[in-house]
Structure 1
Amino acid sequence: MAEKKVSILSAFKTIIWPRRNLVFIGLLLIVISKAASFVAPMSLKYLMDDIVPNENISFLKTLVGIVVIAFLVQAITSFLLTKVLSIQAQYLISELRAQVQKKVLSLPISFFDNTKSGSLVSRIMSDVEGVRNLIGTGLVQLVGGTITAIVSIILLVKISPEMTLMAFIPLILFAVISLKAFKIIRPVFRERGKINAEVKGRLTETLGGVRVIKGFNAEDQESKVFEEGVDRLYQNVKKSLTATAFMTSSSIFLLGLATTGIMMGYGGYLLIIKELTTGEYFEFTFLLALMVAPIVQMSNVGSQLTEALAGLDRTEELMNMTPEADEKDRTIVLDTIKGDMAFNNVSFAYEEDKEVLHNIDFEVKSGSVVALVGSSGSGKSTIAGLAATFLNPQSGNITIDGQDMSKVNLNSFRKNLGVVLQDEFLFEGTIRANILFPRPDASEEELQRAVNAAYVNEFTDRFEKGLETLIGERGVKLSGGQRQRIAIARAILADPKILILDEATSNLDTESETLIQKSLATLTEGRTTFVIAHRLSTIRKADQILVIENGRIAEQGTHDDLIAKEGRYYNLFTYQARI
């Protein structure tokens, strides 16, 4: 299947046309600016043919005044163009970045599992940069250059049609070369975006995992991987530079041929035979330079536009991805949630024909705690992911208060959801900001209640700045237990109806675990709670325990029921008790 590419026409429709009023003002300013730019070269004919031979000082003063006013007009319009188009282009870039970031956050969890975060950063921040060449400096140069070239040609033909025709032959050759070069360069620029995203993605991983790298003495290994990536980027840049260098060298020769060869050769001949006046010669020379300069400039703009369209190709590809949920199908909005959930014959596969869950069937009553236990890879986290709507079943269905979850508006469900993960993510900033994350507008009293309930105050009271303590990226300045307690405080403050605890006490020492077990008892009260735990001693009071093996429910019941059966759960529990 061929790659879909953003054409100049589609870019015009989606980017320029909605801003047509500003663009029209910009075009008007470009026309005024370019009209003013012709005053100086056209004044040379009057200077050389009328003023100097006739020693007309009065006319000289008038001409100089007109030229000065023309330059002032150019200066003013240049400033206004920056205000109107260049600043608008920067605003559009920020607007597009926000749209792309919003789109990325709407994509399913599986997308993030298969995409490097650094790659996404590159696509959000870098790929839209080329827009400035569509509505900012590129538009000014392209339109302005076109106007200058057309007007120059008309004036040049008026002075000498033969010289103009002779000058056009090398220019046409240059245009043909440029068009062929652009066809080669565009896929190179598109590939560069991919390589750049991959290299940034790997660099982001490297910096995030620096402790692991140093712990395994793998600095040289990572440096080699990064060097290979930047070399691929270098090879790509070299290819594009070769093409642009060929264009530049062609322009130097062909445009030099058009100016020097035509002007010095044929122009000098016309001067000798008196078919061209000195003033006309100088006027033709400057007008030809005025025409050639924007043509060379437009070839550079063409390269910039090619790069911009390549970046927009990738942006449009991202924007056309299917979001996590089509809200047209999710029409049920939950005003309030009681918390009854049911898995009805649910099966799930991360890859086609490789099911990890097989016909899972169970109910969870509102306010009850269901514990998921079993060996690693048995499917516990997958069940929790389905309950949190991070994943969707391949077959069967999940209901919340009797409503099919596939039809429920995700926002209305997730505002009632709280999640505490094993490797809990904390944002760089203060402890206070991290706890307030789900409810930034919570009162100080509510915040302190969550802090005390999760025993966060047990360690923040020892910090000089208390809750205002900066924790570093991902909470690197805190211990695992401290990070986990902040995460639990965050969940308490969110006050969810549905709670997912994925190994929530796994990073805690014995003392911290005892404190957290007390806070979890408060947290889970009156909430439908899914608990994934390897420490079976922490789930003895669960209302229901599901033993998951090979993607199936092997055993189901309370702690006492399962111990009495002396089956798989009994073996796991007694084994841990002996350790």
Structure 2
Amino acid sequence: MAKTKVTIGHVFKTIVWPRRNQLLVGLVLIVISRLAGLVLPGASKYLMDDVIPNNNMETLKILLLAVAGAILVQAITSFALTQILSVEAQNLISKLRVQVQAHIIKLPVRFFDNTKTGELVSRIMTDVEGVRNIVGTGLAQLFGGILTSIICLFLLINISPMMTVYVLVPVAIFGFISLKAFGKIRPIFRERGVINAQVTGRLTETLGGVRVIKGFNAEKQEIKTFEDGVTKLFLNIKKSLTSTSLLTSSATFLLGLASTGIMGIGGYMIMNGDMTFGDFLAFTLYLGFMIAPIVQMSNIGSQLTEAFAGLDRTEEILNTPLEDDPTVRINNIGQIKGDIEFKDVSFAYEEEKEVIKDISFKAAHGTVTALVGTSGSGKSTIAGMAASFLNPTKGNITVDGLDMSTITLESFRSQLGVVLQNDFLFEGTIRENILFPRPDASEDRLMEAVKAAHVDEFTDRFEDGLDTLIGERGVKLSGGQQQRIAIARAILANPRILILDEATSNLDMESEAYIQQSLKKLMEGRTTFVIAHRLSTIRQADQILVVENGQIVERGKHDELIAKEGRYHNLHQYQARI
């Protein structure tokens, strides 16, 4: 996956500009707040130079009211700023999460084969959070800080040009250091996102495979693996903290030098009568108001750098091509008849390492095609291509005469049913899992599927029946019970094309006998692909393809292949002895 780098222009166009109204209001509120904050230094000058020397109580009252009013304005604008910008930032985060999740879920199956689930969770939930520093108060505070510094600069020049020039030298040096530092920090934040995704991915796998871990007494090594990942994350955070703290420390040092010089110059000017004590106090306070935003801007700059790093990774995932390319898949197929043909099809997961090599066969509508062979021979890859999960690297596959690669996936998969060896059940109830492909199905259709797959044989024994909670991935059910729910789900989907990958492998002999009857009924009038190691399950198939090393070495019906005494005969004899 090619790395992308989000530019300021891109962020402005896609994130900032669409929210210009909220940001403009936020900027106005920041300006009002900052201007209100400047009341105190001005009031202090008058207090020292006019009110106290003249013992003017009326003016003192006016000054106190002005300062109190300014503080109230600051409090109100701060609250309004949070409500407008912070809430909008969280709203944007929610929308981005939905957008990224919607994009990821439409990516090809091969993408998920090569990417950890936990890493994708991190991409969806964590990477987008940085935008709160762009749309939230961070960006507004950055502009507000710049504006405050500029206003204070003019006020400082008005009081003492010489002291102002002295202050600007360390401020300029700090600005130069900041620009250089942020360029170095951004890759650190980007790397943090990668490490965080890896750690999250491993943790997700660990929690999902806890039975395997305990079964092999491997807790210690998993704890060590997670510890190594967390340590790596810590070292990255330490590096970024070191960089940002050096930046803050340099600001403290340079601006501290400026304050020391101001103290000396100001003291000298007061003693010579060139400056009043009120002017010096006002200069010092204005200087604080100018310096505080500059130091704050270094922190905001770090936050914006982190935000850009997260957006880099978000943009990277959003630039990954979708599975259903609308420029290529232009045929919206109607009701599928079900004639599927493989024409000189080859497939490779890696370049020049073909796992399927120039295979050709036809699966007529309403027929059952069985794929047999040793593990790793290519059976599941062929079924995956028939299900449109994988695209051939050579040759083509047609559905009712149309090239499958040109058919929209939605129109094709809406007529596809899949039952896998280790089928996935969602946390929830048995009812919800069966209704998954057709959530609006009637109760009658649901019960037909339940009875056809003999799910009622065990749900009738449960206190809550079909509303029994099955736990994550159906852990509260036996393998056979899980498989029957998966088959009921496929029956309810009423597909035109059916893929059965070891669909009866987790069933005992009695359950399998029931399910074979259900499957026979399910397969009537549908184009079915069956992958089975147990050859007894495919005796009635219309054609059996024996796959070895990615090639079809034999084809025919059960009796024909037995009579040939070839590879299928050998497999059958071997299983008969077992």
- TM-score, normalising length: structure 1: 0.97
In terms of mean alpha carbon deviation, does 339-348 or 35-44 score higher? 35-44
Residue 560 of structure 1: aligned partner? 559
* AA of the residue aligned to 1:41: P
Counterparts of 1:420-569 in structure 2, within 5 Å, are 420-569=419-568
Counterparts of 1:56-75 in structure 2, within 5 Å, are 56-75=56-75
Other structure's SS at 2:321 match: coil
> Aligned Cα RMSD in Å?
1.4
Q: Distance in 2 between matches of 1:170 and 1:495?
A: 75
Q: Does 1:351 align with 2:350?
A: yes
* AA of the residue aligned to 1:47: L
Q: Distance in 2 between matches of 1:487 and 1:180?
A: 58
- State the Cα deviation string for residues 236-263 of structure 1 (Å, max 9, x = none): 112112111211221221122222x133
Shift of 1:2: 9.4
Residue 184 of structure 1: aligned partner? 184
Q: Distance in 2 between matches of 1:575 and 1:278?
A: 104
Other structure's SS at 2:325 match: coil
In terms of mean alpha carbon deviation, does 17-26 or 470-479 score higher? 17-26
Counterparts of 1:240-255 in structure 2, within 5 Å, are 240-255=240-255
| C-alpha contact 2:370 2:530 (8 A) present in aligned 1 | yes
Shift of 1:127: 0.8
Shift of 1:294: 0.8
In terms of mean alpha carbon deviation, does 360-369 or 62-71 score higher? 62-71
Q: Distance in 2 between matches of 1:443 and 1:271?
A: 90
Residue 272 of structure 1: aligned partner? 271
| C-alpha contact 2:3 2:316 (8 A) present in aligned 1 | no
Counterparts of 1:329-368 in structure 2, within 5 Å, are 329-368=328-367
Q: Does 1:317 align with 2:316?
A: yes
Q: Distance in 2 between matches of 1:126 and 1:215?
A: 33
| C-alpha contact 2:418 2:490 (8 A) present in aligned 1 | yes
- State the Cα deviation string for residues 347-395 of structure 1 (Å, max 9, x = none): 1111111111111111111111111111111111011000001100111
Q: Distance in 2 between matches of 1:401 and 1:184?
A: 57
* AA of the residue aligned to 1:386: M
Shift of 1:176: 2.1
Percent of aligned positions that are identical = 66
Shift of 1:221: 1.4
Residue 193 of structure 1: aligned partner? 193
Q: Distance in 1 between matches of 2:528 and 2:126?
A: 42
Residue 29 of structure 1: aligned partner? 29
- State the Cα deviation string for residues 29-62 of structure 1 (Å, max 9, x = none): 2222222221122111122222222222222222
Q: Does 1:303 align with 2:334?
A: no
Q: Distance in 2 between matches of 1:243 and 1:146?
A: 23
Q: Distance in 1 between matches of 2:549 and 2:143?
A: 65
Residue 410 of structure 2: aligned partner? 411
Counterparts of 1:124-163 in structure 2, within 5 Å, are 124-163=124-163
- State the Cα deviation string for residues 133-159 of structure 1 (Å, max 9, x = none): 111021122111111111111111111
| C-alpha contact 2:2 2:316 (8 A) present in aligned 1 | no
In terms of mean alpha carbon deviation, does 56-65 or 394-403 score higher? 56-65
In terms of mean alpha carbon deviation, does 408-417 or 439-448 score higher? 439-448
Q: Distance in 1 between matches of 2:114 and 2:480?
A: 29
Q: Distance in 1 between matches of 2:565 and 2:173?
A: 88
Shift of 1:128: 0.8
Other structure's SS at 2:336 match: coil
Counterparts of 1:88-167 in structure 2, within 5 Å, are 88-167=88-167
- State the Cα deviation string for residues 446-466 of structure 1 (Å, max 9, x = none): 211111111111111111111
| C-alpha contact 2:86 2:136 (8 A) present in aligned 1 | yes
* AA of the residue aligned to 1:566: E
Shift of 1:180: 2.2
Shift of 1:3: 4.9
Other structure's SS at 2:462 match: coil
Count, aligned residues? 578
Runs (4+) of structure 1 exceeding 4 A deviation are none
* AA of the residue aligned to 2:306: E
* AA of the residue aligned to 1:325: D
Q: Distance in 2 between matches of 1:230 and 1:61?
A: 59
Q: Distance in 2 between matches of 1:560 and 1:369?
A: 15
Residue 205 of structure 1: aligned partner? 205
Q: Distance in 1 between matches of 2:212 and 2:137?
A: 45
* AA of the residue aligned to 1:451: V
Q: Distance in 2 between matches of 1:283 and 1:454?
A: 85
Residue 396 of structure 1: aligned partner? 395
Residue 228 of structure 1: aligned partner? 228
Other structure's SS at 2:346 match: strand
Other structure's SS at 1:128 match: helix
Other structure's SS at 1:349 match: strand
In terms of mean alpha carbon deviation, does 147-156 or 22-31 score higher? 22-31
| Alpha carbons of structure 1 residues 84 and 343: separation in structure 2 relative to 1, 3 Å | same
Other structure's SS at 1:372 match: strand
Segments of structure 1 that go 5 or more residues without pairing to the other structure are none
| C-alpha contact 2:30 2:141 (8 A) present in aligned 1 | no
- State the Cα deviation string for residues 176-225 of structure 1 (Å, max 9, x = none): 22222222211111111111111111111111111111111111111222
Q: Distance in 2 between matches of 1:299 and 1:161?
A: 26
* AA of the residue aligned to 2:200: K
Other structure's SS at 2:127 match: coil
Q: Distance in 1 between matches of 2:510 and 2:20?
A: 66
- State the Cα deviation string for residues 87-144 of structure 1 (Å, max 9, x = none): 1111111111111111111211111111111111111111111100111021122111
- State the Cα deviation string for residues 420-444 of structure 1 (Å, max 9, x = none): 1111111111111111111111122
Q: Distance in 2 between matches of 1:71 and 1:248?
A: 28
| Alpha carbons of structure 1 residues 357 and 305: separation in structure 2 relative to 1, 3 Å | same
Q: Distance in 2 between matches of 1:539 and 1:367?
A: 15
Other structure's SS at 2:576 match: helix
| C-alpha contact 2:23 2:140 (8 A) present in aligned 1 | no
